[in-house]
Amino acid sequence: MSARAYLARARLVPVVTIDDAARAADLSCALGDAGIRCAEVTLRTPAAWDAITEMVAVADETGVDVGVGTVLSADEVTRAHAAGAHFIVSPGFDPATVARAHDLGLACLPGVATASEAMAAQRAGCDTVKVFPAGLLGGVDYIDALSAPLVDLGFVPSGGVNPTTAAGYLAHRAVPAVSGSWMVRRDDIAKGRFDTIRAASFEAAALVGLA
């Protein structure tokens, strides 16, 4: 399945920053209970790789595919694949990282901020890119401008996406999914507030048409 087709089914990619891997399985359960189908675990904390392992271990039970975010190198792509990740996300476009993901059969979502980067990603075989930071770049209007000449490319906004903006993004023909962290706040995860996360995830799933 192409990255764009996969993301069109997912609709929403929660961005998880986790400080304690012991919280990971409960987090995955809360997301799965709400009908959310995937999560991006960012490599921003020492606990990230262990959390990815824990979430992959319960993925069949929760129904939540695990992706690895903040991927900066081909070596990290290799490690993500070995850990059982379904996809990788990068803050920018790096040809070696994209090539390694494609070699391993992983869906790959590189970040772009310009038309030149989007074109380079498309030439490297990507059918979808992450627009980051979407809010600062101009939101839906910016994606509309980028997608006008790049009609075959999908765009996933990330950065500043929230319940107020998500539906507007998803209404755009070039946006298969949105990426955001409002339903998985770092402090809520750290303090084990999974009822809060579950409730926010149900609301987010309904907002993007998963419920």
Q: What is the pLDDT of residues 12-26, one digit of tens each?
A: 999 999 999 999 999
Q: Structural domain boundaries of the chain?
A: 3-204
List the one residue out of 157, 210, 208, 185 whose CA is nearest residue 23. Answer: 185
SS (H, E, C) 68-102: EECCCCHHHHHHHHHHCCCEEECCCCCHHHHHHHH
Average pLDDT over residues 91-106: 97
Which position among 40, 54, 61, 203 bears the catalytic label?
Answer: 40
pTM summary value: 0.96
Residue 75 binned pLDDT confidence (cut-offs 50, 70, 90): very high
Using the predicted structure, report yes or no on whether residue 1 has a pLDDT greater than 90. Answer: no
Please report, as a single letter, which amino acid is at residue 29: C
Which position among 61, 130, 191, 203 bears the catalytic label?
Answer: 130
What pLDDT sits at residue 101? Answer: 97
* Terminal alpha carbon distance of the chain: 23
Continuous segment of H or E residues that includes residue 179: strand 178-180
What pLDDT sits at residue 99? Answer: 98
Tell me, which fold does domain 3-204 have in CATH? Answer: TIM Barrel (3.20.20)
What pLDDT sits at residue 140? Answer: 97
Is 130 a catalytic site residue? yes
Cα-flanking dihedrals φ and ψ of residue 59, to 5°? -60, -40
Average pLDDT over residues 137-161: 97
Average pLDDT over residues 105-127: 97
Contact 121, 98 (CB under 8 A): yes
Q: What is the pLDDT of residues 29-73, one digit of tens each?
A: 999 999 999 999 999 999 999 999 999 999 999 999 999 999 999
Using the predicted structure, report yes or no on whether residue 211 has a pLDDT greater than 90. Answer: no
What pLDDT sits at residue 37? Answer: 97
178 vs 170: CA distance, rounded Å: 7
Buried b (16+ CB within 10 A) or exposed e, 98-123: bebbbebebbbbbbbbeeebbbbbbe
